[in-house]
Structure 1
Amino acid sequence: MSEEKPNSWWGTLPGLMTAAAAVITALTGLLIGLGQLGVFDAGRSGSVSGPPTAVGPSQPGAATQTGNSPRNGNSQQSGSPAADPGISPDGSPGWTVTLPDQRKYRSGDVEYELLRAQARPDADGKITLTFSVRCTNYGRYDLNFWDSTFRLNVAGISTAPDSGLNELVAGDASKAGDVTFTVPASTREAALRIKFLGGESTVKVLVASP
């Protein structure tokens, strides 16, 4: 009776499991090595995010602001010329009014400042002179800011305002208003009188026609 040869370790269950484990380990190591070499990233280059793109200039036709945006109808765009004081609002040559260099007149706790003056034609050979005035009350109590404080002398005749200005200026405060006079269109010189409790100030005014 011949002796049976012992089975090789490949034929045993433990041997098969050991061999399978060795193959899996080898494949795993191979895959890891290929991944580190970037083999599997070759097909994904389109999804890799790149550096941020700088924002370029606006597209053609897009509005670009170069200055402060106008917030109301009186605002001017950056670079536009200022309005000529000798031009009337409709764009035709207008009347001009010249004020002296001294614009502030004070007595006690009350001060009046002439901000600007303008003239416009009126009906029946008349013109309207408008003086924009700021009243400052340095006292503690309210102060009347009204037409009664002003008079305009033209050719020796004293004219009262027709603006209807009648305001109160609180203590330690300021308020601006317009004082208007209707005078003959032939007026070229006038004297604006500002009346205080202790006297009055006189402002020489020159008027020029178109």
Structure 2
Amino acid sequence: MADEKPTNWWATLPGLLTAAAAVITAVTGLLLGLGELGVFDAGKPATVSDSPTSGPSQPGTSASESGHPAQGDETGWSVSLPAERKYRSADIEYEVLGAQVRPDVDGKITVIFTIRCTNHGRYDINFWDATFRLNTGGVSVSPGSGLNDVVAGESSKSGDVSFTLPADTRETVLRIKFPDGESTVRVSLSRP
């Protein structure tokens, strides 16, 4: 018994679990840091600034701030949004700044909503695709924009949320999910 060596902590299960947790934490921190620097944004469309006079960030038609349909452009699509575009629950507020449509693959269109998320609370919140759904023709569609951001306490950020729909879609409902319920936004699409 006197020749028994003490066990190296690396060889124990708790030691291995501690080491694995440290590696996962380090990699996650690295990825978050690179994401904040914009390393992963190379393929994403540009977002629209908070200025109401700015134009659309993508080719297509954007809805005007008054809620009336925007004038047509080269795509021929216009989008009508309601006059009331701010939706709030507790400390989280979403404002639909505008919308636009662009052609996608054959028989499809992409509807892009530019949304501002305002965090009135003290703690960070997620601003991501998981908050939004588009109901059209009895089907709930998830966005494919890849929006995944964090809004710090008492601040705002804007981003684009996009949905791919059949080109014959004319009426749809944007659903904004909150922790304690949801708000809906009726959207009309037209093409002369």
Taking structure 2 as the reference length, the TM-score comes to 0.63
Once the two structures are superposed, the pairs formed by residues 108-123 of structure 1 within 5 Å of their partners are: 108-123=90-105
- Say whether the 8 Å CA contact 1:86–1:93 is kept in structure 2: no
Once the two structures are superposed, the pairs formed by residues 63-74 of structure 1 within 5 Å of their partners are: none
Counterpart in 2 of 1:198?
Answer: 180
What SS class does the counterpart of residue 190 from structure 1 fall into?
Answer: strand
Counterpart in 1 of 2:72?
Answer: 87
* In structure 2, C-alpha distance between the alignment counterparts of 1:193 and 1:93, rounded to whole Å: 25
- Say whether the 8 Å CA contact 1:137–1:169 is kept in structure 2: yes
Corresponding residue pairs, total: 127
The partner residue of 1:148 within 130, 133, 137 is: 130
Gaps of 5+ in 1: 1-73, 76-82
Per the TM alignment, residue 94 of structure 1 is displaced from its structure 2 partner at its CA by: 1.6
* In structure 2, C-alpha distance between the alignment counterparts of 1:149 and 1:106, rounded to whole Å: 13
* In structure 1, C-alpha distance between the alignment counterparts of 2:164 and 2:140, rounded to whole Å: 12
Per the TM alignment, residue 85 of structure 1 is displaced from its structure 2 partner at its CA by: 3.3
The amino acid of 1:104's aligned partner reads K
The partner residue of 2:79 within 97, 100, 116 is: 97
**Residues 1:159 and 2:141 aligned together:** yes
Q: Once the two structures are superposed, what CA deviation does each residue of 1:137-183 show, in whole Å capped at 9, x if it has no partner?
A: 00111000000000000001000000000000000000000000000
Once the two structures are superposed, the pairs formed by residues 30-49 of structure 1 within 5 Å of their partners are: none
The structure with higher relative contact order (CA 8 Å, sep 6+) is 2
Counterpart in 2 of 1:106?
Answer: 88
Q: CA RMSD for the aligned pairs?
A: 1.8
Gaps of 5+ in 2: 1-53, 56-63
Q: Which structure has the bigger radius of gyration?
A: 1
Taking structure 1 as the reference length, the TM-score comes to 0.58
Per the TM alignment, residue 124 of structure 1 is displaced from its structure 2 partner at its CA by: 1.8
- Say whether the 8 Å CA contact 1:94–1:120 is kept in structure 2: no
